[in-house]
Chains A and B, each alone.
Chain A
Amino acid sequence: MSDKPIIHCTGVHKWFGDFHALRGIDLDVYEGEVIVIFGPSGSGKSTFIRTINRLEEHQQGEIIVDGIELSHDVRNIELIRMETGMVFQQFNLFPHLSVMQNVTLAPIWVRNLPKEEAEEKAIELLELVGIPEQAHKFPGNLSGGQQQRVAIARALAMEPKIMLFDEPTSALDPEMIKEVLDAMIDLAKSGMTMIVVTHEMGFAREVADRMYFFDEGVIVETGTPDEIYKNPQEDRTKLFLSQILQH
């Protein structure tokens, strides 16, 4: 762990019209850390993770990613997006491109990688997430779990320093959740800096360094998985945990 955070957020506010979605978020992430964010729907957790690569614009506060401050400067935004990979709840694979093209498109056109090199790398990444044999299929012919693993490979192909996961398993059938989580656990253990919005508590327990509980746009509680599970301090955290851990 280095002494300077790779992501540094202070006093981040965000409004959607009159709705105050983020109310002063302070959060630092250090290189190699795995952060899990959880909380009820509408708590601002997805909004927050999307401000980090500027899919949502924050209106107040400061976000610095790998030494680059997020501002209106388009070049800064594109630099930060090259440093951060994102995996979406709905996969968002490009349906008109093959798996291979999905993974190689951005490296070829944004990183200017030669096509052969990009494809070699894509094969490696698809092997890493366990689906090298699907390279020439189209996303529509894959299962949800396979699609999400392609999405992970696609994000990794840009060689990001940080990976953002926005509820990556919420749209999956139960039997497919494990294959995606396994890929994410492998990634976490390889030392990738990750911020994961998820309710998969098993995943959090296994690899998270710290957990943040969001509610109504603020961080209610933070701690290691052990602290959060065994000894939550706040009533809201206790209530929420009891609801999601009931079954």
Chain B
Amino acid sequence: MAIKEIEQDFIRPPQPPGPMRWIKENLFSGFINSILTVLLFPAIIYLLYQISKWVLFGANWQAVSQFPMLFAVGQYPRDQIWRVGFIFSGLMFMLGISWGRWGGLLKSIALAAGSLLLLIAVLPVQHPQLDMTMRIYLGSTILLILVGYLIGNKTRLKNATIIAGWFVIPTIGIVLLAGFEASERIPPVQTTLWGGLLVTFLLAAGGIILSFPLGVALAFGRRSDLPVVSGFSTVFIEVIRGVPLVTILFMFSIILALFLPVESRIDRLVRALMAVTVFSAAYSAENVRGGLQSVPLGQIEAAKALGMGKLHTTVFIVLPQALRAVLPAIVGQFISLFKDTTLVVIIGINDFLGIGRSIINSDPEFVQMRTEVYIFMAVVYWIFSYLMSLASRRIESAMGIESNL
């Protein structure tokens, strides 16, 4: 009988605490905690009140709200702006397809982006840059997201096709942005005119996509048995990691131009991209190398024992496990890369931050509003950095469930 009763006790699962219990356990669990709660609660309320008062009534957002296009694309010719629109809609379309196929975080992002666009499209304000054409464009982009969702959800499009789309559409877009020498309808647009978020995203996305394979290659290079390869990789990694990004940007933008003949001069933006890529690759390489070292020897022996050669062992066994192990570090590296792109200002590229600074400096009146401008820019950087961080965590937990590593 006694044993039966004990079993009964064990069968009942622990009850989730009610709201009163939660407050008692978390806010008033002891004398000191109670005092802290009593003191901090009004302080927090007061702080929030002051912040919202300033944001809504005290601050003057004119320097931000007057130039949405400038923040978005810089000096890109306004009569050619449809090219940027093409990239943006294309990416939103891909986002819609990916939402339809994979859901999860992509769904949240697609819904957030769609709602934001809808909000802007129906904003009841008079703004010279928010004319009827713009509102119709925003509306049709929302439609594109929804069409994409249906395509992703209802058709049997291959996953690989969707991923390829993420690369093909921006590539076409960038070619379009640059324009064609001989064309009259799509004339070339010098990269000196590109700017704003457009350039920030180009540098960050380009840097991430290019630096990752380079970093993996350098990581393997450093472990190579060939002294030339490992020596080169080691020197490359250590030199790049040993100097500030500013130096590398200067090197690529000025010194590289001095060495190369004038006619073969590489575009300024491309040079900046090269600098960012090289910098990020050196750091990624060390992250990946850490991952490679974490793969147990037994894994490689098992692959060998099955008759698998070096290439197959690397591609199927070592690399997937190494990258899983260091995914958080690599995403962290990408987030810093995204923020580091702000340094291109010093070589005269007007990225998002650069546009903000030039707006502030363009008018004494705007100098007064620099706090507002910087806060706005900080929020934008934070949103995208946080999205990357969220994506990383989702990927990690998805992998965790799959493999129980």
**Using a CB–CB distance below 8 Å, which chain A residues touch chain B?**
53, 55, 78, 81-82, 84-86, 88, 90, 92-97, 105-106, 109-110, 138-141, 154-155, 158
Expressed in whole angstroms, the Cα–Cα distance for A155 and B303 within the complex equals 10
- CB pair A106 B308 closer than 8 Å: yes
Of B305, B312, B317, the contact of A155 (CB 8 Å cutoff)? B305
Of B307, B320, B404, the contact of A106 (CB 8 Å cutoff)? B307
Of A53, A85, A92, A140, the contact of B405 (CB 8 Å cutoff)? A140
- CB pair B306 A90 closer than 8 Å: no
Q: Which residues of B contact A81 (CB under 8 A)?
A: 304-307
- CB pair A94 B317 closer than 8 Å: yes
Q: Which residues of A contact B320 (CB under 8 A)?
A: 96
Expressed in whole angstroms, the Cα–Cα distance for A154 and B306 within the complex equals 8
Q: Which of B84-92, B268-276, B294-302, B328-336 contacts A (4 or more CB under 8 A)?
A: B294-302
- CB pair A94 B404 closer than 8 Å: no
How many residues of B are counted as interface, with CB atoms below 8 angstroms from the partner's CB atoms?
23
Separation in Å of the B226 CB from the closest CB of chain A? Answer: 16
- The answer to whether A140 and B302 touch (CB under 8 A), given A105-B316, A110-B307, A110-B312, is no
Q: Which residues of B contact A140 (CB under 8 A)?
A: 403-405
- CB pair A110 B302 closer than 8 Å: no
Q: Which residues of B contact A97 (CB under 8 A)?
A: 316
| 19 pairs, A vs B, C-beta closer than 8 Å | A55-B301, A85-B305, A88-B301, A88-B305, A92-B302, A94-B299, A94-B316, A94-B317, A96-B320, A96-B399, A105-B308, A106-B306, A110-B308, A138-B402, A138-B404, A139-B404, A140-B405, A141-B404, A158-B307
Of B307, B309, B405, the contact of A95 (CB 8 Å cutoff)? B405
The reply to whether the CB of B75 lies closer than 8 angstroms to some CB of chain A is no
The reply to whether the CB of B321 lies closer than 8 angstroms to some CB of chain A is yes
The 5 closest A-B pairs by CB, nearest first: A140-B404, A92-B302, A106-B306, A86-B305, A82-B307
- CB pair A109 B316 closer than 8 Å: yes
Q: Which residues 377-405 of B sit at the A interface, judged by CB distance below 8 A?
A: 399, 402-405
Q: Which residues of B contact A110 (CB under 8 A)?
A: 306-309, 312
Q: Which residues of B contact A141 (CB under 8 A)?
A: 404
The reply to whether the CB of B324 lies closer than 8 angstroms to some CB of chain A is yes
Q: A55-B305, A96-B403 are in contact. List 7 more A-B contacts (CB 8 A).
A: A53-B305, A81-B304, A95-B405, A96-B405, A110-B307, A140-B403, A140-B405
Separation in Å of the A26 CB from the closest CB of chain B? Answer: 24
Of A78, A139, A154, A155, the contact of B309 (CB 8 Å cutoff)? A78
Separation in Å of the A221 CB from the closest CB of chain B? Answer: 29
Q: Which residues of B contact A96 (CB under 8 A)?
A: 320-321, 324, 399, 402-403, 405
Expressed in whole angstroms, the Cα–Cα distance for A200 and B187 within the complex equals 80
Q: Which residues of A contact B404 (CB under 8 A)?
A: 95, 138-141
Of A92, A154, A155, the contact of B299 (CB 8 Å cutoff)? A92
A81, A84, A158: most-surrounded residue (chain B CB, <10 A): A81
Separation in Å of the B74 CB from the closest CB of chain A? Answer: 43
Q: Which residues of A contact B405 (CB under 8 A)?
A: 95-96, 140
Separation in Å of the A63 CB from the closest CB of chain B? Answer: 15
- CB pair A88 B321 closer than 8 Å: no
- The answer to whether A55 and B403 touch (CB under 8 A), given A96-B320, A96-B324, A109-B316, is no
Q: Which residue of A lies closest to B404 (CB)?
A: A140
- The answer to whether A94 and B304 touch (CB under 8 A), given A78-B309, A138-B404, A141-B404, is no
- The answer to whether A95 and B321 touch (CB under 8 A), given A105-B316, A140-B404, is yes
